[in-house]
């Protein structure tokens, strides 16, 4: 860790960050980015979504009127701002260690008419988490709108990141008979433009029904500890000139292919249990 990175870590109460992620499974920083920065982020999301819908595997359904799209780092004008933000770095450093790796960039959009998702986690829990109580990955989320209840906010069942889920369908979907257990622990999140959160994607959660007339785009940044293995599900690419222009701190934490020309992403991480939504 460089001296500059060490200063970044100590600029935040990392013990509090660790406590929230270990207790609730989620933590957040309000007002991390300006509203103008978020407006540009939404423009990039909408442009990428329009492109993704023109090709097979570009936009993956995560329930009725709900889609997930992966993008390359250079499709987001604020990519360097995001991954070099001191709070993002401090959180990754504290939870995932000094050699953490950015492995995924994408966005989720629930449009008007999106339904409640079934309770789920984004992938099976590894033994390092359910046995050893060590988080090996984080998902950072940034809303593109000021979220209101009618938009179908994200709900998270606090503290469920440590459940083994060995009896879940595909080790990701708890039985419907257990849904009341998650509903009792659930908190709806209503972030505003500029806020950023970090969570364990193993904390059981769901998107809820969007009964508004507005979409609710959310940017997603996926980060792994070394060996977590989620890079096998993703294929971020950058051109050589883009890679060379990145700050050293960003370059050393970015796991990507350096290519002559970036190619459209055909997504590898589909979650079949979300396609139909909750009954």
pLDDT digits (tens, 9 = 90+) for 185-231: 999 999 999 999 999 999 999 999 999 999 999 999 999 999 999 98
Phi, psi dihedral angles at 251 (to 5 degrees): -60, -40
Name the band, by pLDDT with cuts 50, 70 and 90, for residue 232: confident
Mean of all residue pLDDT scores within the chain: 93
User: What pLDDT, on the 0 to 100 scale, is given for residue 4?
Assistant: 46
User: What pLDDT, on the 0 to 100 scale, is given for residue 133?
Assistant: 97
Lowest mean pLDDT among 138-142, 150-154, 239-243, 275-279: 275-279
**Is residue 113 helix, strand or coil?**
coil
In a domain, 276, yes or no: no
In a domain, 275, yes or no: no
> How many separate domains does the chain show?
1
User: What pLDDT, on the 0 to 100 scale, is given for residue 277?
Assistant: 55
User: What pLDDT, on the 0 to 100 scale, is given for residue 11?
Assistant: 80
The pLDDT of residue 159 is above 90: yes
The pLDDT of residue 2 is above 50: no
What is the rounded CA–CA span in Å between residue 252 and residue 237? 15
In a domain, 168, yes or no: yes
pLDDT 10s digits, 128-137: 999 999 999 9
Per-residue DSSP letters for 119-135? SB-SSPPPHHHHTT---
Q: Do 147 and 108 meet the contact criterion of CB atoms below 8 Å apart?
A: no
In a domain, 261, yes or no: yes
In a domain, 208, yes or no: yes
In angstroms, the Cα distances linking 212 to 34, 113, 153 are 25, 8, 11
Beta bridge partners of 81: none
In a domain, 223, yes or no: yes
The CATH number of residue 58's host domain is 2.60.120.620
- Segments forming the whole domain that contains residue 179: 3-269
pLDDT 10s digits, 30-73: 999 999 999 999 999 999 999 999 988 888 888 899 999 999 99
What is the rounded CA–CA span in Å between residue 225 and residue 247? 20
In a domain, 95, yes or no: yes
The pLDDT of residue 139 is above 80: yes
* The residue to which tokens 């959160």 are assigned: 197
In a domain, 279, yes or no: no
């Amino acid at each position: 860790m460089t001296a500059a990175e060490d200063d970044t870590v100590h600029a935040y109460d990392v013990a509090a960050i660790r406590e929230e992620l270990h207790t609730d499974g989620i933590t957040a920083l309000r007002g991390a980015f300006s509203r103008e920065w978020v407006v540009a982020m939404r423009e990039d999301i909408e442009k990428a979504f329009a492109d993704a819908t023109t090709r097979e595997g570009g936009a993956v359904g995560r329930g009725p009127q709900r889609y997930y799209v992966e993008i390359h780092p250079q499709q987001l004008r604020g990519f360097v701002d995001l991954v070099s933000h001191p709070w993002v770095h401090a959180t990754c450093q504290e939870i995932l260690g000094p050699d953490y790796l950015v492995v995924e960039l994408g966005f989720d959009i629930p449009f008007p008419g999106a339904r409640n998702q079934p309770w789920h986690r984004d992938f099976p829990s590894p033994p390092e988490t359910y046995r050893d109580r060590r988080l090996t990955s984080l998902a950072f989320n940034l809303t593109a709108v000021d979220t209101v209840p009618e938009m179908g906010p994200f709900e998270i069942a606090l503290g469920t990141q440590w459940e083994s889920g060995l009896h879940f369908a595909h080790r990701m979907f708890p039985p419907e008979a257990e849904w009341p257990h998650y509903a009792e622990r659930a908190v709806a999140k209503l972030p505003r433009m500029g806020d950023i959160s970090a969570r364990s994607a193993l904390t059981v959660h769901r998107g809820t029904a969007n009964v508004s007339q507005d979409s609710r785009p959310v940017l997603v940044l996926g980060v792994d500890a070394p060996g977590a293995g989620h890079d096998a599900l993703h294929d971020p690419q950058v051109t050589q000139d883009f890679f060379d222009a990145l700050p050293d701190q960003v370059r050393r934490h970015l796991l990507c292919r350096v290519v002559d020309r970036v190619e459209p992403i055909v997504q590898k991480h589909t979650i079949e249990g979300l396609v139909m939504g909750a009954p």
